[in-house]
């Protein structure tokens, strides 16, 4: 990545770590929501 201002190596490193963590959290939340929805659907199907 070449920019006309220096992104700063430390800043770039921190940002990549933070985005990685945030991405993981987003993925976990999405997985969790899917799981919850799966059981909700299951529960709904059983009730007449």
Partner 1 sequence: MNIESPTQTLPGSFRDPSGFMFRREGILYRQINPSYEPEYRHLMESGLYRKLVQEGLLISHEEEPGQRVLRPALIPFISYPYEWCFSQLKQAALATLKIQRTAWAFGMTLKDAAATNVQFLHGKPVWIDTLSFERVQPDEPWVAYRQFCEHFLAPLALMAWRDPRLGRLTQSSVDGIPLDLAAALLPRRTRWIPSLLIHLHLHAKAQQAFSKTRPGAAANKPVQVNSRGRLAFLDHLESAVRSLRLPARRTAWSDYYETSGYSPEETESKKQQVARLLDRVQPVPKTAWDLGANTGLFSRITSRRGIFTVSMDSDMMCVEENFRACADRKEQNLLPLWIDLTNPSPALGWAHQERMSLRERGPADVALALALVHHLALGNNVPLPRLAESLRHGCRWLIIEFVPKSDPQARRLLVSRKDVFPEYHLRGFEAAFEEFFVTRQKVPVAGTERTLYLLQAKEESA
Closest separation between CB of residue 36 and partner 1, Å? 19
Closest separation between CB of residue 48 and partner 1, Å? 39
Dist. CA 19–CA 23, nearest whole Å: 6
Q: Which is nearer to partner 1, 13 or 40 (CB)?
A: 13
Sign of CA dihedral 39, 40, 45, 48: positive
Closest separation between CB of residue 47 and partner 1, Å? 34
Dist. CA 37–CA 31, nearest whole Å: 10
Contacting residues toward partner 1, per CB under 8 A: 1-16, 18-27
């Amino acid at each position: 990545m070449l920019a006309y201002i220096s992104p700063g190596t430390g800043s770039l490193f921190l940002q990549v770590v933070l985005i990685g963590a945030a991405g993981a959290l987003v993925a976990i939340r999405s997985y969790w929501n899917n799981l919850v929805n799966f059981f909700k659907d299951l529960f709904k199907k059983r009730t007449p």
